[in-house]
């Protein structure tokens, strides 16, 4: 498991950089649409990796740690909403988009993902690293 948190944080950095590139080039350009598909794939890969390598260990520890169990339950509920928001965004703008509506939707997605990333890195990943040390 050594290096998992570093790899996941690296994924986060790439996801945010790709979102920034979309913001820079715009979704109406081919490059913007390509980057949108890229960030969707990056997110899916990242979530699969967390589900496969990170969360099973945390769930096992949560069997005896009520605080961790509650934290994981909150994160799971939060992720359900984020996943719904992200999939709706990707479906809506798969062929491009522009204007105020896109800017609003993109800003909401960007802020939501940014907050989730910050919380994962400061709470979930820290708890995982503490478990690794035991």
For residues 77-106, average pLDDT: 87
Q: Is the dihedral of CA 69, 58, 47, 42 positive or negative?
A: positive
Angstrom distance (rounded) from CA 122 to CA 99: 34
> Each residue of 19-39: pLDDT tens digit?
999 889 887 788 988 998 899
Q: What is the DSSP letter of 84?
A: H
Q: Domain range holding 119? A: 4-133
Contact (Cβ atoms closer than 8 angstroms) between residue 27 and residue 106:
yes
Number of domains forming the structure of the chain: 1
What is the reported pTM?
0.89
């Amino acid at each position: 498991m050594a290096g998992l948190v570093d790899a996941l944080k690296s994924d986060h950095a790439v996801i945010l950089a790709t979102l920034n590139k979309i913001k820079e080039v715009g979704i109406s350009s081919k490059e913007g649409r390509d980057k949108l598909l890229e960030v969707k794939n990056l997110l899916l890969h990242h979530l699969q990796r967390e589900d496969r390598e990170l969360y099973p260990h945390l769930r096992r520890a949560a069997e005896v740690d009520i605080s961790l169990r509650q934290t994981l339950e909150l994160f799971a509920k939060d992720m359900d909403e984020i996943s719904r928001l992200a999939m709706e965004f990707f479906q809506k703008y798969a062929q491009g988009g522009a204007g105020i509506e896109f800017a609003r939707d993109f800003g909401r997605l960007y802020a939501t993902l940014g907050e989730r990333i910050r919380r994962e890195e400061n709470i979930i990943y820290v708890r995982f690293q503490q478990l690794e040390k035991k």
